[in-house]
């Protein structure tokens, strides 16, 4: 790299460069390097920089500098793959989701349904869900979960008040309870990868291009200056893989660095905390009773990334007459995989108990396996565990899988459960999947018990892809009572509006035929289904959708399981609205459309098509970006408005056109419209009656313009007389 530089030369011939020049050359200054002050600047002798070589060409007065890679400052390359954007506080609003099914069988009607009520504001969102069950003459509603949730994306944590599901940790069990839950929530930070990612680096002798490949897929391409460089936190998927770095300099020379990696979601980055603390009353008779709560408990789980390869965990469960504490950890052994272990001890009226578990897991590109075993004493107890005689004293699960592009994929698993009051269970299952041709797939599976109650099942499935949304499958399953064949043809619903269907037939000892038609609209999905089992026929009609309250308006919509937005496109009806370049809705008579399934805490691109707007529309933007909060709504208003315009033909008193270059303004507006040839000027922002002014060389005249009722998209008005202006 050639550039002008001002250097000092000592009497002994040594060259000195200022700190600014060395920084511009990207030369690292070692600590304690002696310096010389000159004119308020610090100069360093090039000879004092270890590993640096230089020479001067007297004829051209060119200083040539070269050195070892560690002499130069390292370049840090950011992958730039994060998609997180701090969301704006949501508007206050609410929503209702419904899924209702009316069934008629043998002249007996039944209603089944699911309802979810929600509201949101700047402090979070709350939901309450219900089951609806009705038969002729009776209707019962059962409350499921009711909770208020507040997310804090900046700290990657959430607070939930109400009904929750506890976090099990390495050795615990999940259970439903009513109370408070506070802890880490990495899901609200899409840019954050909690597990350790590999890093890779190299050296560039000249300015070069760096291409980063992860498992043969190009993930990054950057220009780098000369010197060393590093790429920390390479974006990889979990499991075994390979990172390849291709460095190509300005002379076309190429060097390749290859590095194997193993990444696991079971590990945490060093120094990263993952915690959940919860307390409340254990929920009982869920889906049967509204408010059946039992014992009070407190529990906490805290994980810490100790190193890139080691993650530790501590968990405690505290009840009035029962306490359980334990430790867990995961360790990466690159040659084998992820090793995990846990130990827990309990104290209760049953006595002191203990639990131990250990396992190993590895998922490679072609071969993977896993082995996990857990044992516990009869007196061991924990949250969510029933009576000792009903939980196993040992549980072992083993699995293995192999896949190849040529022969397909094969998997096998083994489960051993040693019970206390019941016979032991040993199950073996094997499966095989292969693509027969471009649009056909074959699956084989078998399951058999080694001990305990005899169980045997063998099946074969053949699936055909008949189009982007259409598929057909044939299945045959052999069990103790014979072979059961079945066939199914289905077309899934599109992302936008449209229809789908499903037809299936099952043979064997209990033949069954089913057919269903599904229609998806902006306002929800309706279904009509019929089923015949032996000599009994049943019919079912369903409706699924949502209702949103946002911006002071109530809107019908599809089911609102994620974030959503109310989009406003001026007052224009029937304008298609796109989410990530896919059509998802059309505006109604007021120019509004409700868009669902937005990704929370991520940038969502919502766009409209210019071709769908009329010619008199003034468009400020065709694409808007919205970053919504989870389970909340946002208002997105496109800067689009109707601008009524007209082509005016203006003439002077002598019959000549107003000269080109004159300016026309609308009274009360700042915008100026130039006059072109033949006295023509295209003016926008017009109302039904308008006061306009034309100016030329310090002269002005008033023009009174009235738009016709049926003006059309581009009316032509004139001739208009401009009195008092002379050329």
What confidence category does residue 36 fall into, taking pLDDT thresholds of 50, 70 and 90? confident
Note whether 49 and 15 are within 8 A (CB).
no
pLDDT attached to residue 56: 79
- Considering the chain, what is the average pLDDT of its residues? 88
Q: Mean pLDDT over residues 254-277, rounded?
A: 91
Rounded to whole angstroms, how far apart are CA atoms 437 and 408?
Answer: 12
Q: Which of 465-479, 518-532, 678-692 has the lowest mean pLDDT?
A: 678-692
What confidence category does residue 452 fall into, taking pLDDT thresholds of 50, 70 and 90? low
By C-alpha distance, which of 495, 538, 535 is closest to 516?
538
Note whether 315 and 299 are within 8 A (CB).
yes
Cα 496 from chain centre: 20
Tens of pLDDT, residues 342-355: 999 999 999 999 99
Q: Is the pLDDT of residue 83 over 60?
A: no
Token readout for 112 is 């089944």
Which tops the pLDDT comparison, 105 or 709? 105
Q: Is the pLDDT of residue 80 over 70?
A: no
Note whether 355 and 335 are within 8 A (CB).
no
Q: Over pLDDT 90: what percentage of the chain?
A: 50
Token readout for 486 is 């079945």
pLDDT attached to residue 81: 54
Q: Mean pLDDT over residues 555-563, rounded?
A: 91
Q: Is the pLDDT of residue 1 over 60?
A: no
pLDDT attached to residue 389: 65
Q: Which of 115-124, 537-546, 680-689 has the lowest mean pLDDT?
A: 680-689
Instruction: Round to the nearest angstrom and report the end-to-end CA distance of the chain.
Output: 61
CA angle 645, 666, 678 (to 5 degrees): 65
Tens of pLDDT, residues 175-208: 999 999 999 999 898 888 899 988 888 888 778 8
What confidence category does residue 536 fall into, taking pLDDT thresholds of 50, 70 and 90? confident
| Highest mean pLDDT out of 2-16, 67-81, 337-351, 689-703 | 337-351
pLDDT attached to residue 427: 92
pLDDT attached to residue 82: 54
pTM: 0.80
What confidence category does residue 271 fall into, taking pLDDT thresholds of 50, 70 and 90? very high
Rounded to whole angstroms, how far apart are CA atoms 110 and 496?
Answer: 31
pLDDT attached to residue 479: 85
What confidence category does residue 132 fall into, taking pLDDT thresholds of 50, 70 and 90? very high
Q: C-alpha distances in angstroms, 726 versus 320, 339, 657, 663?
A: 100, 93, 11, 14
């Amino acid at each position: 790299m050639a550039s002008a530089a001002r250097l000092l030369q000592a009497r002994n011939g040594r060259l000195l460069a200022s700190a600014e020049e060395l920084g511009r050359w990207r030369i690292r200054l070692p600590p304690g390097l002696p310096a010389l002050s000159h004119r308020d600047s610090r100069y360093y002798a090039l000879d004092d920089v270890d590993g640096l070589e230089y020479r001067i060409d007297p004829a051209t007065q060119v200083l040539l500098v070269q050195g070892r890679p560690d002499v130069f400052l390292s370049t840090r390359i950011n992958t730039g793959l994060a998609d997180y954007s701090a969301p704006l506080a949501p508007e206050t609003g609410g929503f209702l989701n419904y899924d209702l099914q009316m069934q008629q069988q043998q002249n007996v009607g039944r209603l089944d349904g699911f309802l979810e009520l929600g509201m949101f504001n700047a402090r979070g969102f709350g939901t309450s869900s219900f089951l609806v069950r009705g038969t002729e003459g009776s209707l019962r509603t059962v409350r499921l979960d009711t909770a208020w949730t507040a997310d804090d994306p900046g700290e990657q944590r959430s607070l939930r008040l109400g009904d929750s599901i506890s976090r099990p940790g390495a050795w615990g069990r999940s259970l439903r309870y009513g109370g408070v839950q506070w802890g880490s929530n990495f899901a609200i930070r899409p840019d954050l990868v909690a597990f350790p990612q590999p890093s890779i680096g190299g050296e560039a002798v000249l300015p070069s291009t760096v291409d980063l490949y992860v498992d043969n897929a190009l993930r990054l391409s950057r220009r780098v200056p000369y010197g060393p460089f590093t790429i920390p936190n390479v974006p990889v998927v979990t499991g075994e893989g390979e990172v390849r770095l291709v460095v190509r300099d300005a002379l076309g020379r190429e060097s390749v660095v290859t590095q194997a990696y193993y990444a696991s979601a079971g590990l945490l980055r060093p120094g990263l905390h993952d915690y959940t603390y919860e307390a409340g009353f254990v929920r009982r008779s869920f889906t049967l009773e509204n408010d059946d709560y039992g014992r009070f408990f407190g529990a906490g789980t805290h994980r810490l990334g100790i190193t890139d390869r080691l993650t530790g965990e501590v968990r405690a469960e505290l009840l009035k007459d029962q306490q359980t504490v334990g430790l867990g950890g995961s360790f990466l052994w690159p040659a084998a995989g992820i090793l995990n272990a846990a130990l827990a001890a309990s104290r209760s009226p049953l006595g002191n108990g203990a639990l131990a578990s250990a396992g190993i897991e590895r998922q490679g590109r072609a071969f993977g396996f896993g082995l996990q075993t857990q044992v516990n004493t009869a007196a061991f107890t924990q949250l969510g565990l029933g009576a000792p005689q009903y939980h196993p004293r040992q549980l072992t699960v083993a699995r293995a899988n192999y896949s190849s592009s040529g022969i397909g994929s094969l998997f096998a698993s083994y489960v051993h459960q040693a019970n206390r009051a019941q016979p032991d269970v040993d199950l073996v299952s094997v499966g095989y999947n292969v693509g027969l041709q471009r649009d056909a797939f074959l699956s084989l599976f078998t399951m058999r018990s080694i001990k305990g109650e005899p169980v045997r099942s063998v099946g074969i499935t053949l699936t055909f892809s008949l189009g982007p949304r259409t598929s057909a499958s044939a299945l045959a399953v052999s069990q103790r009572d014979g072979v059961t064949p079945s066939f199914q043809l289905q077309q899934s619903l599109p992302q936008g509006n449209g229809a789908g269907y499903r037809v299936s037939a099952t043979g064997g000892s209990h033949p069954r035929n089913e057919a269903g038609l599904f229609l998806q609209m902006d306002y929800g999905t309706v279904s009509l289904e019929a089923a015949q089992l032996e000599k009994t026929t049943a019919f079912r009609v369903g409706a699924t959708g949502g209702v949103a309250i946002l911006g002071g308006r109530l809107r019908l919509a599809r089911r609102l399981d994620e974030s959503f937005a109310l989009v406003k496109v001026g007052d224009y009806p029937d304008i298609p609205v796109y989410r990530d370049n896919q059509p998802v809705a059309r505006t109604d008579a007021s120019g509004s459309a409700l868009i669902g399934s937005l990704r929370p805490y991520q940038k969502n691109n919502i766009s409209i098509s210019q071709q769908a707007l009329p010619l008199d529309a003034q468009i400020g933007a065709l694409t808007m970006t919205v970053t919504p909060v989870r389970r909340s709504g946002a208002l997105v208003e496109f800067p689009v408005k109707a601008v009524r315009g007209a082509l005016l033909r203006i003439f002077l008193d002598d019959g000549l056109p107003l000269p080109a270059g004159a300016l026309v303004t609308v009274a009360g507006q700042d915008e100026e419209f130039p006059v072109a040839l033949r006295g023509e000027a295209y003016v926008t922002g017009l109302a039904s009656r308008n006061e306009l002014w034309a100016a030329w060389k310090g002269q002005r005249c008033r023009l009174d313009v009235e738009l016709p009722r049926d003006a059309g998209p581009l009316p032509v008005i004139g001739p208009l007389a401009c009195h008092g202006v002379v050329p």
